[in-house]
């Protein structure tokens, strides 16, 4: 009997190890499958998305019905369970869908971003109400023949009826609100970049080779790589090795509504991984470029121009050599630089008040935690800041998240702070659901 017990123990251990190995292999395989599927996902812009329907059904639809069909499929790109968190929306609700004047349709909808503070949806010009992202669009739709059986519903024009909380930031098709910039948009057709200054009525071709532009998904530019303003419409070029040749980071811009275009060089950088471009007026602007990126590192530089973009002066290096999560200049002097979190750096959010020459870490007052926190302190739990955004009334909002691996309330809460004095003082608002 003693020998039997001695043999049973090693057998049980072996069985346990086999089960653990099987579970681990399965988990790795599932994770690999999910990552693979996510890597293959492509998200089509609202300006180029086409809803395919049978010709017979489209022929009897009103503009409102066309808009409903188009929106359901368009928004479905962002609601699937495999959609990466920074691109995913949940609890999407259509609040208004009514026919507007001139054969247009007004669509108001809201949803909750799965990743608090993600700037992926900034191009939609949302506002945030009680933790929900709300968009208010007025759009005109058209129908084009795809083949003998199917038609496609597409967007002819789209206006945003609310101001982007983060300002134009060089990452949207216009600044929102009711300014002239609302009517400026770009499109990529074939081998050309074109800009419209009259809400799509007519387009002018930008004299630049598409190979020299940061194009993604075939018909979009990288967020932050352009600025659409009446006073100065500008696009970052180069900053990469193209067809074996190193092309410096540069800019092509127009300050006369596209009648003429000027090119300028920013710097001898050939591996840009992050773009931020913002013009404050016809002459003054700023560019932030991330480069030499690895898995856990990215260098960055700040540049300023005072002649519209013809010449650029380096202001400083970024305050950290971590991958940039986002940059937001709320004025020519005040800006926030947000980095991916690293447990080797106590802060991932920095502010400059001299246009990017010097930086200070942004800190937030700790609050009371409940018993679910155990022995952890506030700063141990809410440690990863998102990019602060400013609404039309000048109120800044920032969220502190738990980051990856958060366990406080299952990692599903974030801390919300606001500031009414450009970030000089931050007021705690609430702990809110983060995803």
Assess whether 191 and 55 both reside in one domain.
Answer: no
Which of 151-155, 159-163, 287-291 shows the lowest per-residue confidence on average (mean pLDDT)? 159-163
**CA–CA gap between residue 365 and residue 395 (Å, rounded):** 18
pLDDT band at 276 (very low <50, low <70, confident <90, very high): very high
Assess whether 141 and 194 both reside in one domain.
Answer: no
Give the model's pLDDT for residue 253: 97
358 versus 20: the higher-pLDDT residue is 358
* 25 domain-assigned: no
Ordered strands of the 360-361 beta sheet? 324-329, 335-339, 349-352, 360-361
Give the model's pLDDT for residue 361: 96
pLDDT band at 306 (very low <50, low <70, confident <90, very high): very high
Assess whether 156 and 198 both reside in one domain.
Answer: no
Looking at residues 183-199, what average pLDDT do you find?
A: 89
Please identify, among 324, 341, 372, the residue that sits at the C-terminal boundary of a domain. 324
Q: Count other Cβ atoms within 10 Å, centred on residue 409.
A: 16
Looking at residues 67-74, what average pLDDT do you find?
A: 93
Which of 95-99, 296-300, 421-425 shows the lowest per-residue confidence on average (mean pLDDT)? 95-99
**CA–CA gap between residue 341 and residue 321 (Å, rounded):** 11
Please identify, among 162, 196, 214, the residue that sits at the C-terminal boundary of a domain. 162
pLDDT band at 201 (very low <50, low <70, confident <90, very high): confident
Which of 20-24, 79-83, 178-182, 315-319 shows the lowest per-residue confidence on average (mean pLDDT)? 178-182
Give the model's pLDDT for residue 127: 79
Looking at residues 211-232, what average pLDDT do you find?
A: 90
Residue 84 CA from chain centroid, whole number? 13
Assess whether 288 and 257 both reside in one domain.
Answer: yes
Assess whether 215 and 133 both reside in one domain.
Answer: no
* 17 domain-assigned: no
Give the model's pLDDT for residue 168: 41
Closest by Cα among 288, 285, 314, 297 to 224: 288
Assess whether 148 and 266 both reside in one domain.
Answer: no
Residue 290 has pLDDT above 60, yes or no: yes
Residue 57 CA from chain centroid, whole number? 35
Question: Counting every residue, how long is the chain?
Answer: 435
Domain tally, the chain: 2
Looking at residues 88-104, what average pLDDT do you find?
A: 84
C-alpha dihedral, 164 to 331 to 282 to 308, nearest 10°: -110
Strands (DSSP E) found in 27-80: 51-54
Give the model's pLDDT for residue 314: 96
68 versus 117: the higher-pLDDT residue is 68
Give the model's pLDDT for residue 61: 87
Assess whether 134 and 228 both reside in one domain.
Answer: no
Give the model's pLDDT for residue 26: 60
pLDDT band at 180 (very low <50, low <70, confident <90, very high): low
* 124 domain-assigned: yes
pLDDT tens for each residue of 2-38: 455 555 556 677 776 777 766 666 655 545 544 554 4
Residue 172 has pLDDT above 60, yes or no: no
341, HSE (Cβ side, Cα atoms, 13 Å):
16
Give the model's pLDDT for residue 400: 94
Residue 171 has pLDDT above 80, yes or no: no
- Residues 127, 134 contacting (CB under 8 angstroms): yes
pLDDT band at 434 (very low <50, low <70, confident <90, very high): low
* 14 domain-assigned: no
- Residues 303, 272 contacting (CB under 8 angstroms): no
**CA–CA gap between residue 427 and residue 396 (Å, rounded):** 10
* 88 domain-assigned: yes
**CA–CA gap between residue 390 and residue 177 (Å, rounded):** 14
Give the model's pLDDT for residue 170: 40
Task: For residue 306, give both structure tokens.
Answer: 């005072």
**CA–CA gap between residue 355 and residue 187 (Å, rounded):** 31
Q: What is the mean pLDDT of the chain?
A: 84
* 128 domain-assigned: yes
* 50 domain-assigned: yes
**CA–CA gap between residue 61 and residue 99 (Å, rounded):** 13
Task: For residue 428, give both structure tokens.
Answer: 């705690």
pLDDT band at 129 (very low <50, low <70, confident <90, very high): low
Assess whether 227 and 306 both reside in one domain.
Answer: yes
- Range of 237's domain? 178-324
Assess whether 93 and 61 both reside in one domain.
Answer: yes
Which of 78-87, 121-130, 274-283 shows the lowest per-residue confidence on average (mean pLDDT)? 121-130
* 263 domain-assigned: yes
Most confident of 54-63, 128-137, 177-186: 54-63
Which of 35-44, 51-60, 75-84, 229-238 shows the lowest per-residue confidence on average (mean pLDDT)? 35-44
Looking at residues 330-355, what average pLDDT do you find?
A: 94
Strands (DSSP E) found in 38-102: 51-54, 89-100
pLDDT tens for each residue of 236-268: 999 999 999 999 999 999 999 999 999 999 999
Please identify, among 162, 190, 223, the residue that sits at the C-terminal boundary of a domain. 162
Assess whether 269 and 153 both reside in one domain.
Answer: no
Give the model's pLDDT for residue 177: 36
Residue owning tokens 């799965």: 114
Assess whether 264 and 217 both reside in one domain.
Answer: yes
Which of 156-165, 246-255, 282-291 shows the lowest per-residue confidence on average (mean pLDDT)? 156-165
Assess whether 105 and 195 both reside in one domain.
Answer: no
Give the model's pLDDT for residue 24: 64
Task: For residue 81, give both structure tokens.
Answer: 């369970």
């Amino acid at each position: 009997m003693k020998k039997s017990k001695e043999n049973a123990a090693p057998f049980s251990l072996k069985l346990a190890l086999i089960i653990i190995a099987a579970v681990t292999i399965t988990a790795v395989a599932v994770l690999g499958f999910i990552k693979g599927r996510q890597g293959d996902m492509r998200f089509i812009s609202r300006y180029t998305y086409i809803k395919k329907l049978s010709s017979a059904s489209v022929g009897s639809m009103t503009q409102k019905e066309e808009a409903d069909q188009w929106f359901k499929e368009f928004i479905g790109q962002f609601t699937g369970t495999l959609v990466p968190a920074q691109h995913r929306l949940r609890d999407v609700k259509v609040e208004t869908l009514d026919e507007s004047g001139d054969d247009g349709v007004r669509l108001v909808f809201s949803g909750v971003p799965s990743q608090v503070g993600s700037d992926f949806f900034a191009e939609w010009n949302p506002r945030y109400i009680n933790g929900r992202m709300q968009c208010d669009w007025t759009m005109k739709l058209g129908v084009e023949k795809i083949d003998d059986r199917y038609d496609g519903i597409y967007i002819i024009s789209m206006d945003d009826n609310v101001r982007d909380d983060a300002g134009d930031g060089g990452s949207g098709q216009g600044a929102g609100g009711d300014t002239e910039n609302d009517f400026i948009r770009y499109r990529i057709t074939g081998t050309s970049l074109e800009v419209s200054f009259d809400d799509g009525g007519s387009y002018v071709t930008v004299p630049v080779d598409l190979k020299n532009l940061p194009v993604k998904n075939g018909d979009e530019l990288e967020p932050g790589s352009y600025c659409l303003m009446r006073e100065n419409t500008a696009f970052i070029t180069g900053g990469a090795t193209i067809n074996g040749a190193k092309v410096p980071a540069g800019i092509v811009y127009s300050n006369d509504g596209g009648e003429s275009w000027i090119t300028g060089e920013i710097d001898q950088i050939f591996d840009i991984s992050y773009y931020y471009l913002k013009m404050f007026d016809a002459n003054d602007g700023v560019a932030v470029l991330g480069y030499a990126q690895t898995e856990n590192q990215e260098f960055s530089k700040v540049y300023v121009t005072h002649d519209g973009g013809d010449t650029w002066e380096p202001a400083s290096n970024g305050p950290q050599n971590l991958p940039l999560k986002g940059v937001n200049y709320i004025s020519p002097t005040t800006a926030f630089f947000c980095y991916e979190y690293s447990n080797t750096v106590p802060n991932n959010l920095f502010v400059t008040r001299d246009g990017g020459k010097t930086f200070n870490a942004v800190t937030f007052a700790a609050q009371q935690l409940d018993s679910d926190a155990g022995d952890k302190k506030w700063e141990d739990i809410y440690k990863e800041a998102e990019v602060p955004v400013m609404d039309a009334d000048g109120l800044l909002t920032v969220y502190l998240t738990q980051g990856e691996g958060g366990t406080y309330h299952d990692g599903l809460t974030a801390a919300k702070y606001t500031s009414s004095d450009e970030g000089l003082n931050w007021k705690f608002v609430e702990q809110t659901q983060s995803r």
